[in-house]
Amino acid sequence: MYPNDSHPRSQLRAPLTTVALLTAAATLLTGCGSGGPATGAAPPKTGCPTVLASAGAAVARAEKADTAWHGPTTGPAAVPGKSIVYVAQTMTNPGVAGVAKGVEEAAKAIGWQVRVIDGDGTPAGIQAALSQAITLRPSGIVIGGFDPQLTSQQMARAEAADIPVIGWHAVGSPGPSERPKLFTNVTTKVEDVARIGADWIIARSAGDAGVVLFTDDSIPFAKNKAELIRKELATCSGVRLLSYENIPIPDAASRTGQAVSSLLSRFGDDWTYSAAINDLYFADAAPALRAAGRPGSGPPFNIGAGDGDPSAFQRINSEQFQAATVPEPLNQQGWQIVDEFNRAFAGRPASGYVAPVHIATAENSDGATSWDPSGYREGYRRIWAG
C-alpha cells in the first residue's frame, strides 16, 4: 500500500526539504563516526554529524517522487491461458487488498483469470482458503501476506501438484525460497525500510530527538524490523530511544491509547518523534494525542515503516498525527507478481527485482492515498508483448 514531481506543491516544497536536510548536516563541523566526537572536542549538541550527513542524503533520495522505472526490461512474452488464485491473509488488511488489486489489474492486461479467496485473518480460515485454492488446480497461487509455515500441509500439496507459489510478504526476504517452497517472494528489503525510517528521524531532527518505537515482538519479522530501526537510531548520539513499546498488532486498538497517555506523562516534551513497524499504531495513538492537546502536525512527529495504506496517507496529508510513511508500492508489486508467474510458466528464473524504498510525506504525495511509481505498467506490457 502516487504522484510524481509534476505537481506544483512537489515542485515548490520538496527541494526545500532536501536543502534543509543537507544544510542541517553542513552546520555540524566535525565528524564523530559511530562512537563519539573527536578527542578533545565537545560533543556536538545535535548528535553525530557524519551520520547526519549520510542520513540526510539517503532521505533526500527516498523522498523523490519522479524516479524512472528501474525494474526488468526483458523477459518472456505472455504465456496464454493461465489462471491465478490469490489467497489473502485478510482483505481487511489494506496492504493485502492493495496487492490483490494490482494482481487483478495486471492479469487483465496479460489475459489471465484471477480469483481472490479471503482467509479472514485466522489460521483456520487461511488454511481453508489455501486448500480451496489447490482444489481449483490453478496455474499459480499467491500467498498474500501470511506465513506459509501456518499452512505447511497445504504448501506440500501445492508442491506435489506442481503448482508454483509466489509470496507477497510471505517470508522475511525478497526472492526465491526453498523452505517454504516459493518461486519468489515479493517485498521490499526490511533492512532498507528500517534504515530509511530511522534516517528520516535523524535527518528531520538534525540529530536531536527523543524517540518512542512501537512494535510487535510476537512477530519475528516485526521484531527484527524494530531491532534494525533501533540499531540505526543508535548510530547518532543525539538521538535517544525513550521507550520500546511492544504492543501486539491484534491488541493495538485496545492498548495503544493507554500506552500513549502513559508515555506523555513520563516523557512530556522530551518525546519528539515516533517510529512504528506498521502505520496502524498511529491510527490508534491519534485519539490519545488529541485528548492531550498535542497538535496533529506534531510533535511527536511520527513515521510508519509499514505498508503505507490509504489511511496512513490520509493522516499524513491532513497532518493528523502522522508525518511520514515508508510505503510499499502495492499496485506495482501486484504487477510484479504476475510477471514473476509468467517467468515461472515459461521456465525462466525469477526476475530478482526489489523495489527501492520511498518516503511519502505531505510535501511529495500531493493528496494521493498510495505510492504508485511511474513506468511499471508500460515496462511490463512491453515485456509481455514479446
CB 155, CB 179: distance < 8 Å? no
Provide the 10 A C-beta neighbour count for residue 216: 23
* pLDDT digit string, tens, across residues 147-184: 999 999 999 999 999 999 999 999 989 999 999 999 99
Tell me the three cell numbers of residue 301: 512527529
pLDDT tops 60 at residue 39: no
Q: What is the pLDDT of residue 22?
A: 44
* pLDDT digit string, tens, across residues 1-32: 332 223 333 333 333 344 344 444 444 433 33
Q: Is pLDDT larger for residue 44 or for residue 114? A: 114
Tell me the three cell numbers of residue 5: 514531481
Question: What is the model's pTM?
Answer: 0.81
Q: How far is CA 109 from the centre of its chain?
A: 26
Q: What is the pLDDT of residue 47?
A: 58
Q: How far is CA 143 from the centre of its chain?
A: 17
What is the distance between the alpha carbons of residues 247 and 133, in angstroms, rounded to a whole number?
Answer: 33
